[in-house]
Structure 1
Amino acid sequence: MTTHAGIGRGDRSWAAVAALALLLAMLAIAATLSAPPARSQGESGGRFLGVASCAGSTCHGRMEGDGVVVRQDELMRWQEPSTPGGAHSRAWAVLNTSRSQFIARNLGIGDPARASMCLGCHSDAATSRGTAPIEDGVTCESCHGPAGGWIASHYAGVGDNPSPGGEMREKHLANLRAGLRRLEDPVVRAGVCVDCHFGAAGEGQFVTHRIMAAGHPRISFELDLFSSLQAHHQEDADYGWRKFGAAGARTDHVQMWAVGQATALERSLALFQSKRGTEGMFPEFYFLDCHSCHRRIYDQAKPVKTSVDNPARPGIPEGMPPYNDENLIMLSAAARMASPALAEQLGARSAAFHRAIATDRPAAVRAAADLAQTVAALKSAFAARAFSGTDAFAMVDAIAGKAVNDRFTDYAGSSQAVMGVDTLLNAMVSSGRITIGAAAGIRADIDRAYASVKDPNAYKPSDFQASFGSAVRAIQALR
């Protein structure tokens, strides 16, 4: 059953304040122009009904979270004006701010609140909106799917199953058959989220280098941590029955993190191979490491090296920007737990891809296709494997190990590493491997690691590795 509204949502409320202050503000990803999820690739579309269809007091529109099965104040949570939980409801409104207007003027697209370049992610999917107003922003249906097909079964009363848990499960399965998205499946959830939190082929669902140059913040995303910040529910026995068919079942946060890393890299490689991979005569710089170019320029007799050698990027000559491999670094840390053979293949094909980038685009596209096959296989392996709190410790060890740690030479990979160990720490709490109090006791160490990636312009690999190492040692001491 649900708990009182005053109790924090989910198992991970202890980290929410720090995550908001140090993740969203520092990385500038949610509170301003962050791109929330719309439709997943390949979805045929459906009829959007709008937030009003969810807002009844007998449904999700109560003022207090005192529902018997679900909180029933989910709409209030969704529209919170200043917390991460309300970020999606503010997605369209942010298009009316002075910063958005500035970006639109730079791009020459007119009113950003009406521009297709923006609405693909700052509102429900434009081509399937139905009667839902764009002013609602990113609504329930953006994530759960257009309700035109499943709202009738969602409204339906109870059946004749004598087991309350079984009844909830049957009703949820009926909703899924009618078109509700199975977001408890990490592969499904990742596919929905990365459309906007990474990019897609659809109209208005790809933040190009040109858009970022106009003033849009850099895209940064980690599936499990962002899911936690957006959670409007609590994982109790009712949730376990409904989503997984067992009262004690819960979200596997390690699995969610690993699948999210694989999905982001898979999407990156797919888009790189497509027409999105170029912009005019140039490569699309979105796919490359930002800070390989965005550095101070020196013109003096004594040379000053402005980059740090990365052992996992063979064949990239000085002066050539490398591919943004933040998710690849995380995936390499997790791969051996899924399949040692695939981990070896990932390493070999990653190196081949980096070498091919220094050759020509056809070679890079072929190498990207090979690498994408390995990533897809790893994603399937992660999705088929259950993880424990002990596995979360092993993942932290792998991320901090020398083979991976030496690759933290750039801002993007380092910020991804901090989010990774934070979400793995939360997984240890959720699985009961460590207590909330123990995790809260080392929060300062995690916060210092976040502080080292607060300002991209002040990022220094050596400083990051020192603060990150301290955070990892604090986690390891909890064994």
Structure 2
Amino acid sequence: MGNNRTLCRRQNLLIAGFVAFFALCASIQFARAEDPALVVGPNECAECHKKETSIWQKTHHFSTFRDLPRTKEATEIAEKMGIRRIKSDSACLNCHFTEKLEDGKPEPIAGIACESCHGSGKDWYKVHSGFSGKKEGQETPDEIKARWAKSEAAGMIRPSMIYTLARNCFSCHLVPDEKLVNVGGHAAGSAFELVAWSQGEIRHNTWYNKGASNPAASTERQRMLFIVGRIAELETALIGVSKATTKADYALKMATRANNARKVMASLAKLLPDAPELMEIAQIGAKAGLKLNNEAELKDAAGKISVLGLKFANAYDGKAFAAVDKYLPAPDKYKGTVSN
């Protein structure tokens, strides 16, 4: 019996180790959620999500498909990078467009679309919209739970998965390409803050009221978005610094952003002592060396922060975090015009 217990403990430790390892591996990549071979395209989503699609079509996420290649700034960056066609180069495609496999070849089909945030849909879009083989409203609670579990397992990123969503946002709003910045002159990132941007023009909280309105997220969710966004910013900024190899604009901008993110996390840890994950994250960030050619150490720190960020996002609902309310952006600070 004792040997069996020991074997079980070892197996549990091994499983836990694999879970942590894969979480760390997932955290050190700068990439959005979509895979061209698995992308179905926004038209499939629009069949059910008509209101959400209508809102998307009024955003910069939508218009980048048409407008970006025509801008002077994009043309100048492309010339400096030696890019002949913006819609065919990965330096541009990875963040500004959605690609789908057409005749065995990835082709840009839209701007930043549904699957850019919610994951490539081929393996889950029919599952999540199938209502367990019944009509909407006829499923049992267990069937609903099982359907969502299958959708998530197949790659769907749901609105409740805020840390994963936040990392998707930062993977593009914090530009992880040294050459693109130093040679092309591309900005090293935008002044992205998760609450202000998620509650602005891209907001589409319309599904559960059948399109009657598009309300802002609850105060509790905004608190979580604010904190989670800061954690994701620190993680991705550290990864950004890890890509720096030369003392130039990219390295300076990434190190500055990472250092600012560390200071914010230290402040949040003091402000919210009942969430110990924040102090752990702050301490890991503080120890990471913001220097050139330090990829291994910085990715290791980012991986640990990612695991803690996921843990934090899953453990709390924002109700106990009223201390951050004074830092939440007011509606007039939201990015872009909200559509209803």
TM range (shorter): 0.5 to 0.7
Match for 1:90 among 63, 85, 96? 63
Q: Does 1:141 align with 2:115?
A: yes
Bigger drift between 145-154 and 159-168 goes to 159-168
Give unmatched runs, 5+ long, in structure 1.
1-36, 61-71, 81-85, 240-248, 291-320, 398-419, 427-442, 451-479
Offset at 1:272? Answer: 2.5
* In structure 1, distance between residues paired with 2:138 and 2:273: 36
Match for 1:260 among 229, 238, 242? 229
* In structure 2, distance between residues paired with 1:351 and 1:370: 13
After superposition, residues 32-51 of structure 1 pair within 5 angstroms as 39-40=32-33, 46-51=37-42
Offset at 1:46? Answer: 4.4
Q: Does 1:55 align with 2:67?
A: no
- Tell which has more relative contact order, 1 or 2 (C-alpha 8 A, sep 6+): 2
Partner of 2:53: 75
Match for 1:395 among 324, 327, 334? 324
Partner of 2:244: 277
- Which amino acid is the alignment partner of residue 73 of structure 1? K
Partner of 2:17: none
Partner of 1:197: 173
Would the aligned equivalents of 2:173 and 2:189 in 1 still touch at CA under 8 Å? Answer: no
Partner of 2:98: 124
Would the aligned equivalents of 1:150 and 1:175 in 2 still touch at CA under 8 Å? Answer: yes
After superposition, residues 191-340 of structure 1 pair within 5 angstroms as 191-199=167-175, 208-210=180-182, 214=185, 216=187, 218-229=189-200, 230-234=202-206, 236=208, 252-273=221-242, 276-278=243-245, 282-283=246-247, 285-289=249-253, 324-336=258-270, 337=272
Change (3 A) 1:196 1:260: same
Partner of 1:111: 85
Would the aligned equivalents of 2:194 and 2:229 in 1 still touch at CA under 8 Å? Answer: yes
3-state secondary structure, aligned to 2:166:
helix
3-state secondary structure, aligned to 1:134:
strand
Change (3 A) 1:346 1:195: closer
Q: Does 1:421 align with 2:318?
A: no
Q: TM-score, normalised by structure 1?
A: 0.50
Would the aligned equivalents of 2:166 and 2:229 in 1 still touch at CA under 8 Å? Answer: yes
* In structure 2, distance between residues paired with 1:142 and 1:105: 27
* In structure 2, distance between residues paired with 1:222 and 1:130: 37
Change (3 A) 1:232 1:164: same
3-state secondary structure, aligned to 2:134:
coil
Q: Does 1:100 align with 2:7?
A: no
- Which amino acid is the alignment partner of residue 261 of structure 2? N
* In structure 2, distance between residues paired with 1:128 and 1:284: 39
- Which amino acid is the alignment partner of residue 329 of structure 1? K
* In structure 1, distance between residues paired with 2:205 and 2:105: 26
- Which amino acid is the alignment partner of residue 108 of structure 1? G
Higher helix share: 2
* In structure 2, distance between residues paired with 1:340 and 1:55: 39
* In structure 1, distance between residues paired with 2:233 and 2:266: 13
- Which amino acid is the alignment partner of residue 214 of structure 1? G
Offset at 1:265? Answer: 1.1
Partner of 2:156: 180
After superposition, residues 1-40 of structure 1 pair within 5 angstroms as 39-40=32-33
3-state secondary structure, aligned to 1:191:
helix
Offset at 1:45? Answer: 6.8
Change (3 A) 1:151 1:207: farther
- Which amino acid is the alignment partner of residue 386 of structure 1? D
Would the aligned equivalents of 2:234 and 2:262 in 1 still touch at CA under 8 Å? Answer: yes
Measured against aligned partners, the alpha-carbon deviations of 1:39-95 in whole angstroms (never above 9, x if no partner) come to 24xx87742122232333xx23xxxxxxxxxxx322211111xxxxx2211222212
Measured against aligned partners, the alpha-carbon deviations of 1:209-258 in whole angstroms (never above 9, x if no partner) come to 225x635474232223322221223374799xxxxxxxxx9972212221
Would the aligned equivalents of 2:238 and 2:299 in 1 still touch at CA under 8 Å? Answer: yes
Would the aligned equivalents of 2:99 and 2:110 in 1 still touch at CA under 8 Å? Answer: no
Partner of 1:19: none
Would the aligned equivalents of 1:198 and 1:206 in 2 still touch at CA under 8 Å? Answer: no
Change (3 A) 1:265 1:98: same
- Which amino acid is the alignment partner of residue 209 of structure 1? V
Change (3 A) 1:111 1:187: same
* Identity between Structure 1 and Structure 2 (%): 21
Measured against aligned partners, the alpha-carbon deviations of 1:184-225 in whole angstroms (never above 9, x if no partner) come to 21122123222212245xxxx7784225x6354742322233
- Which amino acid is the alignment partner of residue 88 of structure 2? R
Change (3 A) 1:220 1:103: same
Which structure is larger by alpha-carbon Rg, 1 or 2?
1
Q: TM-score, normalised by structure 2?
A: 0.68
* In structure 2, distance between residues paired with 1:226 and 1:53: 25
Q: How many pairs does the alignment contain?
A: 294
Measured against aligned partners, the alpha-carbon deviations of 1:414-452 in whole angstroms (never above 9, x if no partner) come to xxxxxx530xx57xxxxxxxxxxxxxxxx6xx79xx9xx
